[in-house]
Structure 1
Amino acid sequence: MLFEIKSYLNFLLNSQNQHGLHSPFVYKLVTECFYDKKDHSEYELIRNYRNDLLRNRNKIQITDYGAGSRVFKSNLRPVFSIAKSSGITLHRAKLLFRLTKFLNIRNALELGTSLGIASTAIAANRNTKLTTIEGCPEIAKLANRQFEKYGLKNIRLINSEFEQAIKEIQENSSKYDLVFFDGNHQKQATLKYFEHLLPSAHNDSVFIFDDIHWSPGMEEAWEKIKKHELVRVTIDTNQWGLVFFRKEQVKQDFVIRV
C-alpha cells in the first residue's frame, strides 16, 4: 500500500492534462476521448451490468493463476466483493468504452475476463468483436451467464490459461486493434504476454496494461515496454498504461491525468 501511495504522488508530480501536449494525435485523444463529458447511452448497459454483480451475494470458488489477491484470504469469495475490489470502476469502464469507440476498435482481445465489467465496456460498442480469456472455470461460467443475460453476443469467452490461448492466437496469426492486459500482474508474465502478442498488433493498434504501478515489478515491466523499439507513443494514466505503435509518430511518453 505504501508503495502505491508513493507511486501515485510521483504520478501527480509528473502528470499533465491537455495543456502543453505537442502531439496532435495525443491532444485529440485526450480532449475528445479522455475528457469527453457526454452521457453516452451505452453507459446505462455498463452501469446496470456492474450493479447487477454488486447485488450478487452468491459465493464462488476462485482458481487464481495470477499474482493473487491482496484483499481475500480465501478462494471462496462473494461475487459482490469480487466486483467491488477487483472489478473495474464505473469511471474506468466508461473511459474504456470511449476509447473503444473513439479508436474505432473492431477486433479486441482481453486477457483476464474476471466478472466481465471491462468486457462489457468494450463490447458496449456493438461494432466491436471481443475475444476474452479467463482461466478460472467458475468465474468464466458466471461471466458467460451475465453476457447472455445482457445480450452481449459480440463477446466470445474462452476458458483457458493465457499461455494456451496466446499460442492459438499466434498459430492463427490473429490481428487485434485493442489488447487489454488485465489478468496477471507480475513483471515476467506481463513482459512475456507483451512480446508474444506483438505480432497481433498493427500500426493503429493499442495495448492497454492494467495496474502498471501495482508493484515495483509492474513498474519495471512498464518501463521496459516503453523502451521497446516498436513502441512509439505511451500514455501513463496511473492505473493504465496505453501503448501505440504508430510509425508516423515521434517516439514520446506522456503522463496524463484522467
Structure 2
Amino acid sequence: MLFQIKSFLNFLMKSQNQHGLHSPFVYNLVTKCFYDKGFYKEYDLIRNYRNDLLRNKEFIEVTDFGAGSRVFNSNKRPVFSIAKNAGITLHRAKLLYRITNYLKIENALELGTSLGVASSAIAANKRTKLTSIEGCPETAGIASEQFQKYALKNIDLRIGKFEDQFEEILQKNENFDLIYFDGNHQKDATLKYFKKLLPGIHNDSVFIFDDIHWSKDMQKAWAEIKKHPSVKVTIDTFQWGIVFFRKEQVKQDFIIRV
C-alpha cells in the first residue's frame, strides 16, 4: 500500500491534462474522449450490470492464476465483494466504453473477464465483437449469466489459461483493434502476453494494461513495454498503461490525469 501511495504521488507530480500536449492525435484523444462529459445511453447498461453484482450475496470459489489478492484472505468470496474491491470502477468502465466508441473498436480481446464489468463496457458498443478469456470457472459462470441477462451477445467467453487460448484466437482473428490486459499482474506474465499478442495487431491497434503501478515488477514491465520498438505512443493514466503502435507517430510517452 505504501508503495502505491508513493507511486501515485510521483504520478501526480509528473502528470498533465490536455494543456501542453503537442501531439494532435493524443490531444484529440484526451479532449474528445478522456474528458468527454456527455451522456451515453450505454452508461445505463454498464451501471445496471455493475449494480446487479453489488447486490449479489452468493459466495463463489475463486481460482487465481495471477498475482493474488491484496483484499481477500480466502478464495471463497462473495460476488458483491469481488465486484466492489477487485472489479473496475464505474468511472473507469465509462472511460473504457468511450475509448471503445471513440476509436471505433470492432474486434477486441480481453485477458481476465472476472465478473465481466469491463467486458460490459467494451461490448456495450454493439458493433464491437469481444473475445474474453477467464481462468476461473466460477467467476466466468457469473459473468456468463450477466452477459445473457443484459443481451451481450457480442461476447465470446472462453474459460481456461490465457496462453492455452492464444493460438486458436490468433488464427481465428487476423487483427485486434483493442486488447485489454487485466488478468495477471506479474511482470513476466505481462511481458509474455504482450509479446505473444503482438502478431495480432495492426497500425491503429491499442493495448490497455491494467494496474501498471500495482508493484515494482509491474512498473518494470511497463517500462520495458514503453521501450519496445513497435510501441510509438504510450499514455500512463496511473491505473492504466495505454499503448499505440501508429508508425506515423513520433515516439512519445505521456502521463495524463483522467
- Residue deviations 1:82-138, cap 9 Å, x none? 000110000000000000000000000000000000000000111100000001011
Q: 2:158 is matched with which residue?
A: 158
The TM-score with structure 2 as length reference comes to 0.99
SS at match of 1:217: helix
In structure 2, give the amino acid aligned to 1:161. Answer: K
In 2, Cα distance between the equivalents of 1:200 and 1:170? 6
Q: Check if 1:65 corresponds to 2:65.
A: yes
Q: 1:225 is matched with which residue?
A: 225
Aligned alpha-carbon RMSD (Å): 0.7
- Residue deviations 1:52-104, cap 9 Å, x none? 00000000011111111111111110000000011000000000000000000
Q: Check if 1:14 corresponds to 2:14.
A: yes
1:54-203 counterparts in 2 under 5 A?
54-172=54-172, 174-203=174-203
Task: State the shift of 1:163 in Å.
Answer: 1.0
Task: State the shift of 1:167 in Å.
Answer: 2.5
Q: What stretches of structure 1 move > 4 A for 4+ residues in a row?
A: none
The TM-score with structure 1 as length reference comes to 0.99
| Count of aligned pairs | 258
In 1, Cα distance between the equivalents of 2:153 and 2:50? 18
Q: Check if 1:211 corresponds to 2:211.
A: yes
Q: 1:5 is matched with which residue?
A: 5
% identity of equivalent residues: 71
Q: Check if 1:35 corresponds to 2:35.
A: yes
In 2, Cα distance between the equivalents of 1:84 and 1:28? 32
Task: State the shift of 1:173 in Å.
Answer: 5.6
In structure 1, give the amino acid aligned to 2:213. Answer: H
SS at match of 2:53: helix
Q: Check if 1:45 corresponds to 2:41.
A: no
- Residue deviations 1:198-238, cap 9 Å, x none? 00110000000000000000000000000000000000000
In 2, Cα distance between the equivalents of 1:189 and 1:250? 28
- Residue deviations 1:31-53, cap 9 Å, x none? 00000000111100000000000
In 1, Cα distance between the equivalents of 2:82 and 2:157? 19
In structure 2, give the amino acid aligned to 1:60. Answer: I
In 1, Cα distance between the equivalents of 2:174 and 2:202? 11
In 1, Cα distance between the equivalents of 2:70 and 2:35? 31
In 1, Cα distance between the equivalents of 2:222 and 2:201? 18
In structure 2, give the amino acid aligned to 1:245. Answer: F
In 2, Cα distance between the equivalents of 1:173 and 1:99? 21
Moved more, 159-168 or 242-251: 159-168
